[in-house]
């Protein structure tokens, strides 16, 4: 008996790597529906700046979880997972495959490994952990964390202050190590139901794409988009306000810098963001097939189509 083909395809990659185009081609070949796994493409406020699929592309395949959130309503990874799980179940109920695509690594980890349902941590506890890190420095803070959560202290990469603080605040607020919370998680997608691939263009190509896309986005109206967002006077702590390019273009709109300099800085920040995404995927999904060239993309599409046809 032939092995059942996966019903969910995960396509990950850094910004400007071509993952949305690949997802659309795959969806058209498989008669599949596309599910967004990009934390910023959730928000309706920044269609251009977050490079959401165009209206024309959305018309070629059914797209889910794009532009569904208001910028004033910050979504957590847990909220995305609940929404994505419901959508994936609906798609499966229609007897169709799904293509989950995006650059937010934590979303893919939530699907394939699980997401710890940690209780909300009081802001005062977080402030206390951040103050302790500032007072001790990373080396001594990590040593203190190792006494209460050695697994987290060993796993968290050097310089990752956000996760160090998170591990400390969870332990002190809940009395339980974040590693223990994470150990109790279960993947949202059962093994065998999904197949994954990560786009990984060479760095020069990726950076050139990042630069070119920022130039195109500005020509198409990104300044107006950022201006409309600024007019809402939202909290700078919200995810939508942290989108790459918002701060840089806002500086131009308020007269702090020229458009040329704002664009150059936004391009630089986009390249850095792409590098961080690539590093995360390389470290967290080492067993996922890599698609580095156009030829490898074509081979992947052919292999998936062939397997789907024979199942």
95 contacts 127 by C-beta, under 8 angstroms = no
Q: What is the DSSP letter of 122?
A: P
136 contacts 158 by C-beta, under 8 angstroms = no
CB atoms within 10 A of CB 131: 11
Instruction: Please list the alpha-helical segments (H only) found in 113-258.
Output: 123-136, 138-148, 150-155, 161-174, 178-183, 203-220, 222-231, 246-253
For residues 296-304, give the mean pLDDT.
95
Domains, the chain, ordered by start: 8-115+193-310 (3.40.50.300), 123-183 (1.10.20.140)
Handedness of CA 240, 243, 249, 255 (dihedral sign): positive
**Confidence at residue 191, expressed as pLDDT on a 0 to 100 scale:** 85
For residues 165-174, give the mean pLDDT.
92
25 contacts 208 by C-beta, under 8 angstroms = no
> Which region, left, alpha or beta, applies to residue 5 given φ > 0 means left and ψ of -120 to 50 means alpha?
beta
**Confidence at residue 305, expressed as pLDDT on a 0 to 100 scale:** 86
For residues 38-48, give the mean pLDDT.
96
Three-class secondary structure of residue 43 per DSSP: strand
Q: What is the DSSP string of 136-168?
A: H-HHHHHHHHHHH-HHHHHHSPTT-HHHHHHHH
For residues 94-103, give the mean pLDDT.
97
Give the percent of the chain with pLDDT over 90.
82
Q: What's the pLDDT band for 123 if we cut at 50, 70, 90?
A: confident
Q: What's the pLDDT band for 6 if we cut at 50, 70, 90?
A: low
d(CA 249, CA 50): 13
**Confidence at residue 193, expressed as pLDDT on a 0 to 100 scale:** 92
Q: What's the pLDDT band for 183 if we cut at 50, 70, 90?
A: confident
33 beta partners: 98
Higher pLDDT, 119 or 130: 130
Statement: residue 158 has pLDDT above 90: no
How high is the mean pLDDT of the chain? 93
**Confidence at residue 3, expressed as pLDDT on a 0 to 100 scale:** 42
> Which region, left, alpha or beta, applies to residue 65 given φ > 0 means left and ψ of -120 to 50 means alpha?
left
**Confidence at residue 179, expressed as pLDDT on a 0 to 100 scale:** 85
Higher pLDDT, 6 or 13: 13
CB atoms within 10 A of CB 182: 17
Three-class secondary structure of residue 101 per DSSP: strand
Higher pLDDT, 237 or 41: 41
**Confidence at residue 250, expressed as pLDDT on a 0 to 100 scale:** 97
**Nearest residue to 7 (alpha-carbon basis) of 111, 103, 109:** 111
For residues 157-180, give the mean pLDDT.
90
Q: What is the pTM of this model?
A: 0.83
CB atoms within 10 A of CB 57: 16
69 beta partners: 43
Statement: residue 257 has pLDDT above 90: yes
**Nearest residue to 192 (alpha-carbon basis) of 52, 36, 3:** 3
d(CA 147, CA 23): 45
Query: Based on the number of CB atoms within 10 Å of its own CB, is 161 exposed (0-12), middle (13-18) or buried (19 or more)?
Result: middle
Statement: residue 278 has pLDDT above 50: yes
């Amino acid at each position: 008996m032939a092995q059942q083909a996966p019903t969910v395809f995960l396509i990950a990659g850094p910004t400007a790597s071509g993952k949305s185009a690949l997802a659309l081609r795959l969806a058209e070949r498989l008669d599949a529906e596309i599910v967004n796994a990009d934390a910023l493409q959730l928000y309706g406020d920044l269609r251009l700046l977050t490079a959401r699929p165009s209206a024309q592309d959305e018309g070629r395949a059914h797209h889910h979880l794009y532009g569904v959130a208001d910028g004033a309503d910050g979504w957590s990874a847990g909220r995305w997972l609940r929404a994505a799980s419901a959508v994936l179940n609906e798609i499966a109920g229609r007897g169709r495959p799904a293509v989950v695509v995006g650059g937010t690594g934590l979303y893919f980890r939530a699907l394939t490994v699980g997401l710890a349902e940690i209780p909300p941590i009081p802001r005062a506890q977080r402030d206390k952990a951040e103050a302790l890190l500032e007072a001790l420095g990373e080396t001594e803070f990590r040593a203190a964390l190792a006494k209460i959560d050695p697994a987290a202290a060993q796993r968290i990469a050097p310089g990752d202050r956000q996760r160090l603080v998170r591990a400390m605040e969870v332990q002190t607020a809940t009395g339980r190590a974040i590693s223990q919370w994470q150990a109790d998680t279960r993947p949202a997608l059962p093994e065998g139901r999904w197949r994954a691939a990560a786009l990984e263009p060479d760095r020069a190509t990726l950076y050139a794409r990042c630069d070119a896309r920022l130039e195109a986005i500005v020509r198409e109206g990104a300044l107006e988009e950022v201006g409309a967002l600024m007019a809402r006077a939202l909290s700078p702590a919200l995810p939508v306000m942290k989108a790459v390019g918002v701060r840089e273009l806002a500086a131009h709109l308020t007269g702090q810098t020229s458009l040329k300099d704002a664009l150059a800085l936004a391009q630089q920040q986009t390249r850095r963001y792409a590098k961080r995404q690539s590093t995360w995927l390389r470290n967290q999904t080492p067993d996922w097939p890599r698609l580095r060239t156009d030829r490898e993309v074509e081979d992947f599409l052919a292999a998936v189509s062939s397997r789907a046809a024979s199942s």
